[in-house]
Structures are given as C-alpha cells and as structure tokens.
Amino acid sequence: MKSNELTLCGLPAVKARFDRDAGSIVRLFFDEATGRKVGAICKALAQTRKVYRCVPPVELEKIAGSKHHGGIVAVVRAEAPRAPSPAEIAAWAKRREPVLVLDRIGNAHNLGAIARTAAYLGVSLLVLADDPAASRPNDAAYRVSEGGLEQLEVRAVKDVAAFLKALAAAGYEVCGAATRGAPLLRSNDAKGRAGPPGAPGRASNAAGPARSTDSGRAVPPDPQPAKPIALVLGNEEHGMAPAVERACTRLVTIPGSGKVESLNVSVAAAILLWELVRKQ
C-alpha cells in the first residue's frame, strides 16, 4: 500500500467515506456476507474502473492488517490535515461553530471514540496537534469512529497555544479540561446568572436592559448570545501542555465521587461536549 493510502475497515466507516467522497476509494475488498450489502458501492466503483473484489476471510485480514476488519476493507486516498487560516477562524466564529481541540491525544482508539461522539453531538470542527506524540486519523481511529471522522472537518496545528489565542481573539471562549478547573454548572443553575467573560463556573452571556411592550409592561431582557465554545482536551497521561493551559480562557472539570482519579479522555469528552456545546 502506498504512503498516501489508508485502509478503512467496517461497513459504517466505508459507507460514510463513500457518501462523503466516493472518488477517494481506490480499492474495495469484502467477504461474501458483506458483499450483499454493498451493491451500490460496487456499481459506482465499476463505473470508474476501480478494483472491488470478494475475498476469503484470511486474505481480508491480511489486507486490513487486523482481525477487526468487520467484513470489508476500503483502501482510500489519505490527505494530511492542514492548519486553518485566520480568515477561516473568523468565519467559524461568525457562524458560532463549536471547535474541539485535542492536545496530543496519543491513543488512536481514543481519537476515534472522541470523533464519534463529536459527530453524534453535531460538532464538525476537530483540530489536532501536529506533534509526534499525537495520534493522527489512522486505520484504527477510523474504525472506532464508526464513520464519525467522515463527518468532521479535521485540521492540525503545530502551535496549539498560539491557535487557542487566535480563537480567543476571534471571540471564542476556550474551555480547557483540567482536574483543577471550575466544576461544570448544571444547566438550571446557569440560567439567569451572568459573570465576566471567562469567569470560572459562570455563564458568559450578560443580559441587556429590560424592554417594554406596547402596554407599558416590562418584559425580561433578551440575553446576548454566549460566546462560541472551543473545548480543549489534553494528553491521556499528562493533560494539556502548560502553554496550552495558559492559553485557555476558562478551565473546567467534571465533579466526581473522588473514588477514582479521572475518567478516560473519550468519556470526559462526551460529558464536556454535552454540557458545553449542546447549549450553543
């Protein structure tokens, strides 16, 4: 397999790639049972003279490089994620797009699980650290994401701290997950409470002056929209790098029982995305 190619395993991942970018599929291999479910994909590949073939399980395992192939393997063109431009960051902020930033997440399975959660919750922007310690979207990450990575716009930046400062300058509240952050508020606790931008544990939207109806009766003020959210998660063992943590405008933590030290990073991502992004 060429260096610019990647193997996608499992029917959800292959179907998601076909739906997003059918032309990137170079070759397709599947077992007999799965072959009955991919007629449309095979027809499309035949029209473009691409290779597709039903193969024995032993050969499928060899092509996939893993027993966890799910009955189908697609060899696809792989593109390296690029850094976002200042204009793109400004456009994200204008659209109030939530951004998920991973600072050196090292385990491909964690990356895949986080991507799956992000896609499920409607987050479409994923920014990775362009660092040797960071996992990239590889075969395992795509398999675990169950098609989630195909729903995300994946970017990579060499200087995560500088990128977070650019997000903050564009109007984002940059929330870093940290064991010593402010506990997340319950959503009903946050209602009606305002504080200065970035104040730990406070809602960042402030209300304007009260307005009157035609009858002269005062009605509650319209709240200004909260800032768009960027959530930052650090390495599984070491957390965020010190410079990355300092670049956050707010640190948050998930209060627990104290009986175990921490959560798996993919579980923490799911809870934090649900709490911070769903209100957007």
**DSSP secondary structure string, 150-213?**
GGSEEEEES-HHHHHHHHHHTT-EEEEEEEEEEEPPPHHHHTT---STT-TTS----B---EE-
pLDDT score at 184? 60
pLDDT score at 178? 86
Amino acid 121 reads: L
pLDDT score at 278? 72
CA angle in degrees (0–180, nearest 5) for 136-140-146: 105
d(CA 85, CA 89): 6
Is the Cβ–Cβ distance between 101 and 156 less than 8 Å?
Answer: no
pLDDT in tens, 144-187: 999 999 999 999 999 999 999 999 999 999 999 987 656 664 33
Bridge partners (DSSP) of residue 6 are 76
pLDDT tens, per residue, the chain with 280 residues:
677 899 999 999 999 999 999 999 999 999 999 999 999 999 999 999 999 999 999 999 999 988 889 999 999 998 889 999 999 999 999 999 999 999 999 999 999 999 999 999 999 999 999 999 999 999 999 999 999 999 999 999 999 999 999 999 999 999 999 876 566 643 333 333 333 333 333 333 233 344 444 445 554 444 445 899 999 999 999 999 999 999 999 999 888 888 887 889 999 999 999 988 776 6
Mean pLDDT of the chain: 85
d(CA 57, CA 269): 35
Domains of the chain, each with CATH number or no CATH: 5-77 (3.30.1330.30), 86-181+225-277 (3.40.1280.10)
Q: What is the pTM of this model?
A: 0.80
pLDDT score at 168? 98
pLDDT in tens, 217-255: 554 444 445 899 999 999 999 999 999 999 999 999 888
